[in-house]
Chain A
Amino acid sequence: MTETDRYAKLKEIIRIYLPEDVAVTEISASSHFINELNINSANLVDIVLDVEDAFDITLENEDMDQMQTVQDALDIIDGKLKE
Chain B
Amino acid sequence: MNKRVVITGLGICAPNGVGLEAFTHSLQNGISGIRFQPKLKQLQFSCQVAGEPLIKDNLLQHYFSPLQLRGLNASGLVYGVIAGTDAWNDAGLPIAPKDRPDWDSGIIFGTGILGADKFRESIYAIDEGNVRRLGSTSVMQVMASGISAYLGGILGTGNQVTTNSSACTTGTEGILMAYERIRSGKAKRMLTGSCSDSGPYIWAGFDSMRILPRNYNGNPSKASRPLSASAAGFVPGSGAGALVLESLESARERGANIYAEVLGGAVNSGGQRGEGSMTAPNSESVVRCIRKATEDAGIHVSEIDTINGHLTATRKDPIEIRNWSEALQDTGTDFPFVNSFKGLFGHGLAAAGSMECVASVLQIGKGQVFGNVNCEDLHPEIEEIVHRSKIPLKTILHQPKILAKASFGFGDVNACVIFSQFND
Contact surface of A with B, Cβ cutoff 8 Å:
16-17, 20-21, 42-43, 45-46, 49
| CB of B139, distance to nearest CB on chain A (Å) | 9
Is B136 in the interface zone, CB < 8 Å from A? yes
Q: 17 A-B contacts, Cβ less than 8 Å apart?
A: A16-B66, A16-B67, A16-B70, A17-B67, A20-B65, A21-B98, A42-B136, A43-B67, A43-B136, A45-B135, A45-B136, A46-B70, A46-B135, A46-B136, A46-B137, A49-B133, A49-B135
For window 102-143 of B, CB contacts with A under 8 Å fall at 133, 135-137
Interface SS, B side = loop
Q: Which of chain A's residues have a CB closer than 8 A to the CB of B66? A: 16
What 4 A-B pairs have minimum CB-CB distances, sorted nearest first?
A: A42-B136, A46-B135, A46-B136, A45-B136
Q: How far is the CA of A74 from the CA of B20 in the complex (A)?
A: 50
Contact surface of B with A, Cβ cutoff 8 Å:
65-67, 70, 98, 133, 135-137
| CB of B136, distance to nearest CB on chain A (Å) | 4
Q: Which of chain B's residues have a CB closer than 8 A to the CB of A16? A: 66-67, 70
Q: How far is the CA of A11 from the CA of B135 in the complex (A)?
A: 19
Q: How far is the CA of A47 from the CA of B133 in the complex (A)?
A: 11
Q: How far is the CA of A42 from the CA of B137 in the complex (A)?
A: 9
Q: How far is the CA of A42 from the CA of B141 in the complex (A)?
A: 14
Q: Which of chain A's residues have a CB closer than 8 A to the CB of B70? A: 16, 46
Q: How far is the CA of A16 from the CA of B70 in the complex (A)?
A: 9
Question: Which A residue's beta carbon lies closest to that of B66?
Answer: A16
Question: Which B residue's beta carbon lies closest to that of A18?
Answer: B67
Q: Which of chain B's residues have a CB closer than 8 A to the CB of A20? A: 65
Question: Which B residue's beta carbon lies closest to that of A48?
Answer: B132
Q: How far is the CA of A43 from the CA of B137 in the complex (A)?
A: 9
| CB of A61, distance to nearest CB on chain B (Å) | 8
Q: Which of chain B's residues have a CB closer than 8 A to the CB of A17? A: 67
Q: How far is the CA of A42 from the CA of B135 in the complex (A)?
A: 9
Q: Which of chain A's residues have a CB closer than 8 A to the CB of B65? A: 20
| CB of A41, distance to nearest CB on chain B (Å) | 9
Q: How far is the CA of A45 from the CA of B131 in the complex (A)?
A: 12
Q: How far is the CA of A61 from the CA of B65 in the complex (A)?
A: 28
Q: Which of chain B's residues have a CB closer than 8 A to the CB of A46? A: 70, 135-137
Question: Which A residue's beta carbon lies closest to that of B65?
Answer: A20
Q: How far is the CA of A42 from the CA of B66 in the complex (A)?
A: 16
Q: Which of chain B's residues have a CB closer than 8 A to the CB of A49? A: 133, 135
